Structure 1
Amino acid sequence: MRKNKVDIITLGCSKNLVDSEQLLRQFKANGYTVAHDPEKINGEIVVVNTCGFIGDAQEESINMILELGEAKKKGKIGKLFVMGCLSQRFLKEMKTELPEVDRFYGKFNWNELITDLGKPYFQELANDRILTTPNHYAYLKIGEGCNRTCSYCSIPLITGKYQSRPMETLEEEVRMLVDQGVKEFQLIAQDLTYYGQDLYKRLALPELVERISDIPGVEWIRLHYGYPAKFPYDLLRVMRERDNVCKYMDIALQHISDHMLKVMRRNITSQETYELIARMREEVPGLHLRTTLMTGHPEETEADFEEMVEFIRRTRFERMGAFAYSHEVGTYSHKHYADNIPQEVKEERLDYIMRIQEKISAQISEEKIGKTFRTLVDREESDFYIGRTEYDSPEVDPEVLIAKDRELQPGEFYEVRITDAQPFELYGVV
């Protein structure tokens, strides 16, 4: 066990990651040595930032806590603290079931962890953080919470109502990060497209994106987690007109059949979904769409699933993920529907649509062979430099493997010609 060292382990999404980065900054300001997701966990203080979204994520969080509890018993680590979505949602149960944890915090009161240790919380550093990403990109959380009522989703139970962060605060944070060398910003929230409705009584995401894109040094802005109903269409104009706004939109559609969209309480129809996609692609030539679909929600019939399959083939998403339904306690579907789709059927449907998507992704990647793309180099590996185009978000999208025929600098942009392609990665030369 290393004295005066803090290890923070982040599970779940990039929104949790931002919280961990802010906590790291507070610990460092108090004189601690800090490490994030270290290979060797041996801190005097260890913090697990948990995810509580679906069953698999919850299990991962619990297993990590149990593993660290054993390390604590053996004297390999000191105090063990837990924060984040899972403890926000199941605080009472976790206190009873996990006595090896010294103290639990939720998603919004983790700053108390600092003061409970007898250390000051530096309010002037509230928006400052230690980046866990490469220095040239960062996640920018523009809001917390969600006002949607999707049947399957536990996020509103955890985070509460939507709370937009003021534009001026976000601009200040972006300028600060640009001064630290950040060039690329991934805008994130549970729902980007609702931004501003609570604070300004209007959908203000287009204005926010414009204001951030005006800041000198901002090279790329990428948008994650939009909602299809009542989409703020002026955002498409901004995306089309601004060179530093990536032609990329992450918008979770979940399903396409009218039956399932109603059951899932998505507030949109199949026809409206098709019209939305058509308008997005028409107004933003070259747009790459990322979506997420779900298999096995209660009441999903074979006909519903076949309609989803046809939707995937017809729409040809540039990027697509999917997951099997998880019957989450407290959600609308848990209260009103039986979990009536066998797990093996959920998984079979999931595997089937992902095989279809793999073929589509391969074809879309092959179409890029011979073309040249502005590419940001993330890192150097033994055989290649690894980069991304504006159509590729970190961690979730294809990477560009760049030949090492000349020296490149991570964090810099290069014009890269694509020479070969796989379904989920490209090969190129500068």
Structure 2
Amino acid sequence: MKKDKINLITLGCSKNTVDSERLLKQLRINKFQITDDPQKSDTIIINTCGFIEAAKKESVDTIVNAVNMKKQGLVRRVLVIGCLSERYKKDLEKEIPEVDNYFGVEKYNEIVESLGGHLKYELLGERHLTAPSHYAYLKISEGCDNPCSFCAIPIMRGLHKSRPMHELLEEARFLASKGTKELIIIGQDTTDYGKDICGKRNIAELLNKLSTIKGIDWIRLMYAYPSHFPDDLIDEIANNPKVVKYLDIPLQHISDNVLKSMRRGITKRRTIQLLSDLKNRIPDLVLRTTFIVGYPAETESAFSELADFISSFKFQRLGVFTYSLEEDTPAFPIGDKFSDRIKEKRLNSLMQIQQSVSRDFNNSLIGSDIKVIVDRLEGDYYICRSFREAPEVDGEILVNAAENHLKIGNFYYVNVNDADDYDLFANLKKT
């Protein structure tokens, strides 16, 4: 019997990317053909995101487009998996019944069996990489124990579950064997790693053991939670040469009243103390954070406090999101206090501050020699990153392809000769 040709569409965050890569590996083991073109497929699988309203809309629009292709006879089946169907399965079955099957999060066995295959449990740690093979995401946990009032992740992904360390080390060795040089550590809360399986947070130990794997040169930590940041993690980042001096630590706000309403478990004073410790103990640390504007408790004075904090602290990397009212979250009964216009105005105001901060930081790097990894060739430029840039969310380093000949996935030293607000321009360093 001929196996389906499958197109897998991944929406949302890097954690969804890892889930899709695991599923793709199982599909390939079962001899299914994979295509990047939906119109050349028999079955479309959509791995959805249900985190905020914009993500839900994108997921629903993608489902509707796939269903329309099915109605036109272009594909035979449409499967929907991931966060949106975990959270809204009954509603989706009622509203879009043309979808053949809805599956929740990490339902690999059910998905593969619905297609006529069999799950190979012993290979669940293996993945078919969809990103460039020189960097890969390592998802160390699932779910989240933090009670943030605005967040629906525990509803969709459950409580925090750390993956056993030996499994993660085995997966990292597999990734290294496929050419991965940069491991990007992800999870809903990476700083909580280990507390459920060995009684303590041991993310520092995990990073240390990952750094012993041959072929892994950079280890980048994302999604660190500020209220329980382990002290030994600061030392590990500072002292381990393979752990890049870069940290993603979403703060969400700085006003004490807003932080309390958000149930973040931290105060402004403690936040500033943690950030000061990080900067003092980790030389050349690059900090990335995210903030939410338009949360119901964010008064004008609270917003001004946040703007002043961003202006004075000068994060090298920063993102801002507008508040999204989510059903079944603790903040839902409060309602949505601010209009979209006010939220967007606040977002733009903060990003204008950050644009200036980023421009000054980039200008300070002109003339310096930096180590970069080459991600891709795009038009006239090689697109590169240093330890200061995470893929997909930060700026990039552009190296003129006409004057320089580089190999994708390799490390080089370049000299920065120009900068704009978010990107750098460089040439290969002359030896």
Structure 1 length normalisation: TM-score?
0.97
How many angstroms does 1:339 deviate by? 1.4
- For the 8 Å contact 1:146–1:159, the answer to whether it is kept is yes
Matched, 1:368 2:365: yes
- For the 8 Å contact 2:7–2:38, the answer to whether it is kept is no
Match of 2:352 among 352, 355, 377: 355
Tell me the distance in 2 between the aligned counterparts of 1:91 and 1:265: 28
Residue 99 to residue 269, structure 1, CA distance change in 2 (3 Å) = same
Match of 1:129 among 114, 127, 130: 127
How many angstroms does 1:380 deviate by? 1.4
How many angstroms does 1:123 deviate by? 1.3
Q: Deviations over 1:142-191 (max 9, x none)?
A: 00000000010000111111000011110001111111111111000000
- For the 8 Å contact 1:299–1:341, the answer to whether it is kept is no
Report the secondary structure of 1:379's partner residue: strand
Aligned to 1:247: 245
- For the 8 Å contact 2:7–2:37, the answer to whether it is kept is no
Match of 2:394 among 393, 397, 402: 397
- For the 8 Å contact 1:3–1:43, the answer to whether it is kept is no
Match of 2:274 among 272, 276, 286: 276
Aligned to 1:80: 78
Alignment of 1:10-409 (within 5 A): 10-35=10-35, 38-335=36-333, 337-404=334-401, 405-409=403-407
One-letter amino acid of the structure 1 residue matched with residue 377 of structure 2: E
Tell me the distance in 1 between the aligned counterparts of 2:124 and 2:56: 28
One-letter amino acid of the structure 2 residue matched with residue 165 of structure 1: R
One-letter amino acid of the structure 2 residue matched with residue 92 of structure 1: K
Between the two proteins, the alignment pairs up a number of residues equal to 426
One-letter amino acid of the structure 2 residue matched with residue 49 of structure 1: N
One-letter amino acid of the structure 2 residue matched with residue 69 of structure 1: V
- For the 8 Å contact 1:23–1:111, the answer to whether it is kept is no
Tell me the distance in 2 between the aligned counterparts of 1:364 and 1:283: 20
Tell me the distance in 2 between the aligned counterparts of 1:238 and 1:372: 25
Tell me the distance in 1 between the aligned counterparts of 2:244 and 2:212: 14
Report the secondary structure of 1:90's partner residue: helix
Report the secondary structure of 1:321's partner residue: strand
Tell me the distance in 2 between the aligned counterparts of 1:14 and 1:59: 18
Report the secondary structure of 2:20's partner residue: helix
Residue 232 to residue 206, structure 1, CA distance change in 2 (3 Å) = same
Report the secondary structure of 1:226's partner residue: coil
Report the secondary structure of 1:291's partner residue: strand
Aligned to 2:417: 419
One-letter amino acid of the structure 2 residue matched with residue 27 of structure 1: L
- For the 8 Å contact 2:250–2:289, the answer to whether it is kept is yes
Structure 2: gaps (5+ residues): none
How many angstroms does 1:210 deviate by? 0.4
Report the secondary structure of 1:326's partner residue: coil
One-letter amino acid of the structure 1 residue matched with residue 254 of structure 2: I
Q: Deviations over 1:100-130 (max 9, x none)?
A: 1000000122321111222111112111111
One-letter amino acid of the structure 2 residue matched with residue 26 of structure 1: Q
How many angstroms does 1:40 deviate by? 4.7
Tell me the distance in 1 between the aligned counterparts of 2:376 and 2:80: 31
Tell me the distance in 2 between the aligned counterparts of 1:410 and 1:106: 36
- For the 8 Å contact 2:3–2:31, the answer to whether it is kept is no
- For the 8 Å contact 2:109–2:118, the answer to whether it is kept is no
Tell me the distance in 2 between the aligned counterparts of 1:384 and 1:234: 40
Report the secondary structure of 2:42's partner residue: strand
One-letter amino acid of the structure 2 residue matched with residue 400 of structure 1: I
Structure 2 length normalisation: TM-score?
0.97
How many angstroms does 1:3 deviate by? 7.1
- For the 8 Å contact 1:3–1:44, the answer to whether it is kept is no
103-112 vs 195-204, which moves further: 103-112
Structure 1 moving runs of 4+ over 3 Å: none
Report the secondary structure of 1:106's partner residue: coil
How many angstroms does 1:34 deviate by? 1.0
Tell me the distance in 1 between the aligned counterparts of 2:395 and 2:44: 33
Tell me the distance in 1 between the aligned counterparts of 2:371 and 2:142: 32
Report the secondary structure of 2:200's partner residue: coil
One-letter amino acid of the structure 2 residue matched with residue 348 of structure 1: K
RMSD (Å) for aligned C-alpha atoms: 1.1
How many angstroms does 1:33 deviate by? 1.4
Report the secondary structure of 2:344's partner residue: helix
Q: Deviations over 1:186-221 (max 9, x none)?
A: 000000001111111101100000000111111000
How many angstroms does 1:41 deviate by? 3.7
How many angstroms does 1:19 deviate by? 0.7
Q: Deviations over 1:9-35 (max 9, x none)?
A: 000001011110111111111111113
- For the 8 Å contact 2:404–2:427, the answer to whether it is kept is no
Report the secondary structure of 1:96's partner residue: helix
Tell me the distance in 1 between the aligned counterparts of 2:188 and 2:3: 37
